[in-house]
Amino acid sequence: MKGDIYTFKILRYDSTIPDKGPEFQSYRVRVIPGLTVLTVLNRIRDEIDGTLAFRSSCRSAVCGSCAMVINGKIDLACRTQVAQFGTREIILEPLPNLEVIKDLVVDMTPFWKMYEKVRPYLIRKSPDPEKESYQSEEDRKRIDQFVNCILCACCYGACPVLSRDPEYLGPAALAKLERFISDSRDERPMRELEFINTDKGVWGCDMVMRCIDACPKGVRPTDSIVSLRKRLLKYKIFGKEKK
Amino acid sequence: MLYHDVLIVGGGLAGLRAAVGLCDKYDVGLISKVHPVRSHSIAAQGGINAALANHPDARDDTPEKHAFDTIKGSDYLADQHAVEIMCYEAPKIVYEMEHWGCPFSRFPDGSIAQRPFGGAGYPRTCYSADITGHVLLNTLFERSVERGVRIYPEFVVVTLVVKDGRCHGVVAIDQIRGQLVSISARATLFATGGYGRIYYYSTNSLTNTGSGIGIAYKAGVPLKDMEFVQFHPTSIIGTNILITEGARGEGGYLINKNGERFMQRYAPKAMELAPRDIVSRSIATEIEEGRGFESELGSYVHLDLRHLGREKILERLPGIRSICLDFLGIDPILEPIPVMPAQHYSMGGIDTNERCQTDLEGFYAAGECACVSVHGANRLGGNSLLEAIVFGKLGAIAIDDDLKKTNGKPDSLEVEKAKKKVEEKIYRLGSHKGEKPFRILDDLRKTMSTYVGIFRTKEGLEEGLNRIMELKKRAEHMGVTSPNLFMNYELISALELEYMIDICHLITLGALLREESRGAHFRRDFPMRDDRKWLKHTMARIGKNGEPEISYKDVVITKYEPTERKY
């Protein structure tokens, strides 16, 4: 049989048995070239240990289910090649900054709570036209990178501010807010941004850009935070509405 | 014990659109196996069809022409009145999504951009680069947040509760709390998606088991046209991740190992933009006749995008490029993409009418799990996102109309009773050392890809059917590590496997009985379409002893007479 033997060390924990703390369990698996971490996880659950818990769905890096820590780096298990690390040992841990439910499955509730706080939808005051609202190609391009966010929470797990302040809105929610504010069709008034004008909002960011490193889709949440800060300042100093 | 006026199962496009349509008026609950934004709708790339006539070459496009293309594409098996409804709704749906914030790509005049797609007479496919499913699903999820739709993520439905010809709700597993939950409702709508994962080669998400279709069948609801399975021409070798038809819409070529644009032989006019059934058969034929490339991961042909140039690829197909880089280590700007056909879409499904109503009172279905039928024997690219949203909307309207007419309450005791039965079943699965579900599933998938694929024969289908029957027996003796309901994915796969085997059975049986070739169903031993005998829908209903009973139903023809399909 082809392929090399790898050891997968996976941090196991069951929140229904809290007395038993988290501990690593090792699985030895033969890996042929080209396999992803997610493929191996599925094989472990199928063939070795039916009790292993992890989330997955699209297996093509678009649904955002399988974010975790892989050999110390936050990424999606589905797009991470086992062979890329140059070692025969792969260590898998759940995403930081969120409570573990079981093994590699974390409780995303706080993440979604922050997402909902920013009113993550297009807000219009004008009546809808009969056809589409027109938007120039240039205006459409402006929101491109933030539209790409798949809400996988890689950035949330990587954020050093969130690790000390769980009340901080976090990179994904702020990037989502910028996605709407910078959309030429959105008409939310700037005074609505008062809630991010705090150290739980845009001023909480340390600007160490771990979120940018962690994002599997090339989104730069720090850019959104810088942009939101500028908008706030312009509004505060000059009373300037957006655009 | 939960109660909602309306229970929606599935958080993809169809389920979310239905929920948004009803939540202002009714107490709506939406349960979903995964968080809504993880639903398979997210993976759709190329676009959504609507005759907006925005493209300079499409100024005279109309919904009627869209309907004609869809009916011709369906090889005349679609119900024409339903297709007309969908195509006339299409512009309204696209404008609605745009008003709700969907970031479509734009033409220089600021209107929604449209691209050419397979089987369409005009560039009619509205898109957002190559992440159209992602933007539509996010838009609908955002709208559901705005409206405050009650969502129960990571709830897996196990059974549908029926008594006296009426649906009373479902029993589901709440994976996070580790509980069985009975949910009664006045109306239940399934928007549970397709069954791609019954095939070894599929573009679908790992969660697409089709169990919703199987659950409905087991509860006595008829299924329709199950033998019609779409194989997408271009999935990357190895993982079978989809490469959008948009890649060919933007001008990509299919090339064999002799360097030929082989579509010339099969569809000289439409070339790479012939409908999917035709392109998939063409690729399979090239490979069979020795003109494909060989590799450890399987045989393939090339999808060549290099002549489109760096700028166009980066602007219109950036997601395709990332997929190629992440999963093949290939940059399509510099190298052709190795592709092969793979299962992609379920044309058949739960039999519904154009109002999403089924044979069972109080039970509705919409989206890929349903069969209206608007796709007939072959779906056109860009029509699945459309179908999901249109029928999510129309399903909500029908439920509203029906609930206004009656004030019947569901029988919650019956739902509790059903829960007890599920409890016993789960205990049985987890308390004996039977065969693990994955081995049976693996054999099932190989059986389907080998015997019930692009090309079918009587002998092959009979062999497939025999094997499926053996797998059914093996599944009776399967077991899982633990009956614990808390985050027990192995248990979920065992429960779903039973339904997957039923679906395979019905697809194979329908394919064996249908002695003609139509759309995606191609019989080597009956290579021609036979309208005299087979211009009809296959209906499958579970019989008293659990065996399927097959009957047939007429196709609705309005004004498009079936003619030979040429591209």
Contact B430, B480 (CB under 8 A): yes
Residues in CB range of B129: below 8 A, 6 or more apart:
B105, B315, B316, B317, B318, B319
Q: At B329, list the tokens.
A: 């280590």
> Are B179 and B79 within one domain?
yes
**Using a CB-CB distance cutoff of 8 angstroms, which residues of chain A are in contact with residue B146?**
119, 121
3-state SS of A199-221 is CCCHHHCCCCCHHHHHCCCCCCH
**Angle ∠(B64,B351,B544) on CA atoms, nearest 5:** 160
**Using a CB-CB distance cutoff of 8 angstroms, which residues of chain B are in contact with residue A122?**
99-101, 142
Do residue A131 and residue B52 have CB atoms under 8 angstroms apart?
yes
Confidence of residue A242 (pLDDT cuts 50, 70, 90): low
> Are B323 and B180 within one domain?
no
Per the structure, how many domains does chain B have?
3
pLDDT digits over B27-59, tens only?
A: 999 999 999 999 999 999 999 999 999 999 999
Edge-to-edge strands, sheet with B125-126: B48-49, B125-126, B114-115
User: By CB neighbour count within 10 A (0-12 exposed, 13-18 middle, 19+ buried), where does B401 fall?
Assistant: exposed
Is B108 an interface residue toward A (CB < 8 Å)? yes
Mark whether B276 is an active-site residue: yes
Do residue A65 and residue B34 have CB atoms under 8 angstroms apart?
yes
Contact B475, B484 (CB under 8 A): no
> Are B263 and B352 within one domain?
no
Q: Closest residue of B to A121, CA-based?
A: B142
**Using a CB-CB distance cutoff of 8 angstroms, which residues of chain B are in contact with residue A116?**
145
pLDDT digits over A6-64, tens only?
A: 999 999 999 999 999 999 999 999 998 889 999 999 999 999 999 999 999 999 999 99
- Average pLDDT value over all residues in chain B: 97
The full DSSP string for B232-257 is EEEEETTT--B--THHHHTT-EEE-T
Q: What is the CA radius of gyration of chain A?
A: 21
Q: Closest residue of A to B112, CA-based?
A: A132
- A233: closest CA of chain B, how far (Å): 26
The residue among B364, B387, B413 that closes a domain is B413
- A209: closest CA of chain B, how far (Å): 22
Report if residue B491 sits inside a domain: yes
**Using a CB-CB distance cutoff of 8 angstroms, which residues of chain B are in contact with residue A34?**
238, 297
Report if residue B565 sits inside a domain: no
Q: Provide the domain limits for residue B74.
A: 2-228+347-413
The residue among B355, B386, B413 that closes a domain is B413
Q: Which pTM was predicted?
A: 0.97
pLDDT digits over A177-199, tens only?
A: 999 999 999 999 998 899 999 99
Cα gap A106→A99, rounded to integer Å: 6
The predicted complex's ipTM stands at 0.97
Report if residue B567 sits inside a domain: no
> Are B65 and B187 within one domain?
yes
Report if residue B302 sits inside a domain: yes
pLDDT digits over B317-358, tens only?
A: 999 999 999 999 999 999 999 999 999 999 999 999 999 999
Probe site for chain B from A113, A121, A130 (most B CB atoms < 10 A): A121
- A90: closest CA of chain B, how far (Å): 19
Do residue A120 and residue B487 have CB atoms under 8 angstroms apart?
no
Report if residue B548 sits inside a domain: no
pLDDT digits over B209-225, tens only?
A: 999 999 999 999 999 99
Report if residue B564 sits inside a domain: no
CATH code for the domain of B284: 3.90.700.10
Considering the candidates B17, B276, B379, B565, report the single residue annotated as catalytic: B276
The fold adopted by the segment(s) A4-106 is Ubiquitin-like (UB roll) (3.10.20)
Report if residue B558 sits inside a domain: no
Task: Determine the pLDDT at residue A243.
Answer: 54
**Using a CB-CB distance cutoff of 8 angstroms, which residues of chain A are in contact with residue B242?**
60
> Are B429 and B509 within one domain?
yes
Query: Among A59, A121, A151, whose Cβ lies nearest the Cβ of B239?
Result: A59
Q: Closest residue of A to B43, CA-based?
A: A62
CATH code for the domain of B159: 3.50.50.60
- B424: closest CA of chain A, how far (Å): 20
> Are B305 and B376 within one domain?
no
Q: Closest residue of B to A127, CA-based?
A: B99
- How far is it between the farthest Cα atoms of chain A? 70
Is the CATH number 2.40.30.10 carried by domain A109-238? no
> Are B170 and B54 within one domain?
yes
**Number of residues that make up chain A:** 243
CATH code for the domain of B458: 1.20.58.100
Cα gap B341→B449, rounded to integer Å: 11
pLDDT digits over B161-201, tens only?
A: 999 999 999 999 999 999 999 999 999 999 999 999 999 99
- B79: closest CA of chain A, how far (Å): 28
Confidence of residue B371 (pLDDT cuts 50, 70, 90): very high
Mean local confidence (pLDDT), B535-562: 97
Res. A1: pLDDT tops 70: no
Report if residue B555 sits inside a domain: no
Is B38 an interface residue toward A (CB < 8 Å)? yes
Ordered by start, the domain boundaries in chain A are 4-106, 109-238
Q: Closest residue of B to A152, CA-based?
A: B38
